[in-house]
Amino acid sequence: MLHTKFFEPVCVWDVKASLGEGVVWIESEQCVYFVNILEKKIYRYHPETQAKTVWDAPKKPAFIFPTTGFVLLCGMEDGLYWFDPVQGTFTQWFAMNETHPNNRLNDGYIDSLGRLWFGTMDNEEKEPSGSLYLLTYDEDGKISSVLQDKDYVVTNGPVIMENHDILFHNHSNEQVIYKFDWHESGSISNKTSFAVLENGYPDGMASDSQDNLWVCLYAGNQINVYSQDATLLQTIPFPCPNITKITFGGENYQTAYVTTAIKDMTVQDKQEYPLAGGLFAFDVSVPGKSQNLFKISEHVLLK
């Protein structure tokens, strides 16, 4: 267990990931999972034993989440897969067929009802072809993606604060964090600008038990923590520039785990920031929230 003073990130796995992302705490395993999108890797880190496991993925993985079943839900570039960490196998469940040929899945979030909200983006990060979706399926296993918002170049960090009926979502390229009214029925409305950044690009996000919003800054060297009224409460500096995703885990959810990336860094940058691309951890004074599980049933798994 880490016992850092103040907010000082420590590199717990020097992965040197090209694009580390999708970090999540799996309560049942007491482990951290995360992905390396560009190198098609999935990682598992066990804090208590320091055990580290790496799997090769068949496609570019974007996120990974625990489910109510025995498998994990993994978002790949072309759709959703079941990942069995015991067998190390991947089974495609839902193929995402968008009209833009260069789009891929990016960030995601599981709400308190066990539903997946996820974004797509232009793989070349140029065209505003990305969208935000809600995945739905009925008891017969029919799956559909419901469009919620569009015209993003790079989507990131959907986070929902259900007790406030708010969804946050990033248009990373525009350096804007958007705020929506979230409806339990499965829709969003009243899109407004929550914050516009000057330093760095808003990437992955999480909320803590006091409903503060933690925003990772790509090319920003830090995490920003905002209150509900968009007041900047805290900045947590990192010893590397590209901060991509944060989750809370460990005992009482008082440890933050954060992924980073070496993508877009020069040779000089890598020499200056040798821990870039690593998995970091630090203690927090305000606990995070437990990770929601994606809701599935046996007949869906068998399809």
Enzyme catalytic residues: 203
Distance, in Å, from the CA atom of 64 to the CA atom of 53, rounded to the nearest integer, reads 15
Strand, helix or coil for residue 221: coil
Q: Are 1 and 250 in contact (CB under 8 A)?
A: yes
State the amino acid at position 171 in one-letter form.
H
Contact call for residues 22 and 61 (beta carbons, < 8 A): yes
The alpha carbon of 240 is separated from its chain's Cα centroid by a whole number of angstroms, namely 19
Q: How many C-beta atoms surround the C-beta of residue 185 within 10 A?
A: 5
What sections of the chain are H helices per DSSP?
267-272, 298-301
Q: What CA–CA distance (Å, rounded) separates 19 from 32?
A: 17
What distances in angstroms separate CA 216 from CA 21, 86, 244, 272, one per listed residue?
A: 11, 31, 6, 20
Q: What are phi and psi of 64, to 5 degrees?
A: -150, 135
For residue 301, with 0-12 CB atoms within 10 Å meaning exposed, 13-18 middle and 19 or more buried, which class applies?
A: middle
CA distance 118 to 160: 12
